[in-house]
């Protein structure tokens, strides 16, 4: 008469064991880094959004250098603290001292070419062997870039490049330039690198009444913060890239002029 209760208790224990095993398996499957597989050879895949850091200047020593087709990863030490940074592909030497400014913090950042996930890495616009050229890749300066110190006053007027227009003219006649290629010369006042496989650069030329206004451009060029550059790209209106990246006016696929 007691066989049925015993079998019922065994069945209940078996169900509980199966349920517990399922929870353990589910936890194990989700314990690793969460990554989005990249279509390109090398890309950022993060489970958290990029966080923009301050534009503080860093003096570091390269302890390790990893090269890929597009980027250079450096394990650097600063005051005894080691950090991974990633810059557009450039020459770098272990043991060399470099300078860089700012950066975007990414977590669970995957290097496809090295099949490696960096727990934390800072995306930096560039490195330099000299503190006076911070943000530019060591030993290399892009054509069309003024590397001399520039004023940070947004009211300082920058004359347009030959065949170009001012940012104010572009804003006032945006419909005229929609879908057309234009030339702009301005100072980089803000940048976010390697988001959606492109750099987002904000330019000012002193032609706008509101010093807080600027023109956003997207480019694969490496443009340091504070540099005065001449660029050419296609103007788009009411562009929505998703993820909160929406612009009334933007210059896309910009390239530096020679």
162 belongs to a structural domain: yes
Range of the domain at 127: 51-133
| Residue where a domain stops, chosen among 133, 164, 189 | 133
User: How many domains does the chain contain in total?
Assistant: 2
CA gap 78, 81 in Å, rounded: 5
Instruction: Show the low-confidence residues of the chain (pLDDT under 70).
Output: 1-55, 132-155, 243-244
Residue 139 domain-assigned? Answer: no
CA distances from 53 to 38, 96, 101, 206, 234 (A): 25, 24, 9, 26, 29
149 and 92 in a common domain: no
pLDDT of residue 225: 82
Is residue 111 in some structural domain? yes
Task: Identify the domain boundary among 133, 163, 185.
Answer: 133
In a domain, 122, yes or no: yes
Same domain assignment for residues 178 and 244: yes
Instruction: Please indicate, yes or no, whether residues 187 and 89 belong to a single structural domain of this protein.
Output: no
What is the rounded distance in angstroms from the CA atom of residue 217 to the CA atom of residue 206?
17
In this predicted model, what pLDDT tens digit does every residue of 221-251 receive, in sequence order?
888 888 889 999 999 999 988 766 789 999 9
Same domain, 212 and 238: yes
**Domain-embedded: residue 37:** no
What is the pLDDT, as a whole number, of residue 143? 35
Residues 168, 82, single domain; the answer is no
CATH number of the domain where residue 103 is located? 2.40.50.140
**Per-residue H/E/C for 121-190:** EEECCCCECCHHHCCCCCCCCCCCEECCCCCCCCCCCCCCCCCCCCHHHHHHCHHHHCCCEEEEEEEEEE
Residues 153 and 190 both lie in one domain? yes
Report if residue 74 sits inside a domain.
yes
Q: Is residue 41 part of a domain?
A: no
């Amino acid at each position: 008469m007691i066989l049925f209760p015993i079998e019922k208790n065994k069945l209940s224990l078996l169900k509980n064991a199966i349920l517990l095993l399922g929870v353990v398996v589910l936890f194990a499957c989700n314990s690793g880094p969460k990554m989005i597989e990249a279509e390109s050879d090398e890309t950022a895949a993060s489970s958290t959004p990029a966080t923009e850091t301050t534009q503080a200047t860093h003096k570091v020593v390269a302890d390790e250098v990893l090269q890929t087709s597009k980027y250079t990863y450096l394990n650097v030490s600063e005051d005894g603290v080691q950090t991974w940074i990633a810059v557009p592909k450039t020459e770098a030497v272990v043991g060399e001292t470099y300078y860089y400014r700012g950066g975007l913090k990414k977590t669970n950042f995957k290097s496809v070419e090295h099949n490696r996930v960096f727990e934390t890495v800072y995306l930096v616009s560039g490195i330099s062997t000299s503190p006076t050229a911070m943000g530019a890749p060591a030993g290399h300066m892009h054509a069309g870039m003024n590397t001399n110190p520039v004023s940070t006053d947004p009211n300082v007027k920058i004359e347009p490049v030959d065949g170009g227009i001012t940012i104010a003219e572009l804003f006032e006649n945006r419909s005229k330039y929609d879908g057309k290629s234009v030339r702009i010369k301005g100072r980089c006042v803000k940048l976010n690198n390697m988001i959606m496989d492109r750099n987002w650069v904000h330019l000012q030329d002193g032609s706008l009444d509101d010093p807080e206004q600027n023109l956003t451009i997207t480019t694969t060029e490496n443009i340091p913060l504070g540099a005065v550059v001449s660029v050419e790209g296609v103007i788009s209106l009411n562009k929505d890239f998703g993820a909160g990246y929406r612009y009334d006016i933007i210059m896309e696929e910009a390239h530096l002029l020679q």
